[in-house]
Amino acid sequence: MTTTLDWYGCATYRMRTAGLTMFLDAYIDRMQGAEGPTDDDGQPLTADVVDQCDWVVIGHSHFDHLYGAERIMANTSATLIGSYETVRVMEQAGVPLNRMICVGGGETIDLGNGATVAVYPSQHSCVWSHAAMEGPGEVCLGDLGVTWQEQRVRFEALTKHLAGLGDAATDHLRASAPGHSERGDGGALVFFFETPDGTVLFQDTSGHWSGVLRDLRPDVALLGAAGRGNIDGQPIQGSLAQFVARQADLLRPAKVVLTHHDNWMPGFSAPTDVAPIREELARTVPRTELIELDYLDGTTILPL
d(Cα 13, Cα 280) in Å, to the nearest integer? 24
Q: Which own/partner contact pairs does 239-243 have at CB distance under 8 Å and 24+ positions apart?
A: 239/136, 239/137, 239/138, 239/139, 239/140, 239/276, 239/280, 240/134, 240/135, 240/136, 240/137, 240/138, 240/206, 240/276, 240/277, 241/136, 241/137, 241/276, 241/277, 241/279, 241/280, 242/139, 242/280, 243/206
Cβ count within 10 A of residue 214 = 13
All structural domains of the chain with their residue ranges: 3-302
d(Cα 258, Cα 226) in Å, to the nearest integer? 9
Query: Which pLDDT score is estimated for 179?
Result: 54
d(Cα 162, Cα 25) in Å, to the nearest integer? 22
Query: Which pLDDT score is estimated for 173?
Result: 85
d(Cα 111, Cα 90) in Å, to the nearest integer? 20
- CATH fold of 3-302, please? Metallo-beta-lactamase; Chain A (3.60.15)
Query: Which pLDDT score is estimated for 182?
Result: 58
Query: Which pLDDT score is estimated for 212?
Result: 98
Residue (of 266, 245, 254, 116) closest to 191 by Cα position: 116
- Residue pLDDT tens, the chain, 304 long: 899 999 999 999 999 999 999 999 999 999 988 999 999 898 999 999 999 999 999 999 999 999 999 999 999 999 999 999 999 999 999 999 999 999 999 999 999 999 999 999 999 999 998 767 889 999 999 999 999 999 989 988 887 888 788 888 888 888 887 655 556 799 999 999 999 999 999 999 999 999 999 999 999 999 999 999 999 999 999 999 999 999 999 999 999 999 999 999 988 888 889 999 999 999 999 999 999 999 999 999 999 9
Query: Which pLDDT score is estimated for 180?
Result: 53
Residue (of 62, 32, 56) closest to 46 by Cα position: 32
Cβ count within 10 A of residue 296 = 16
Classify 278 in phi/psi space as left (phi over 0), alpha (psi -120 to 50) or beta. alpha
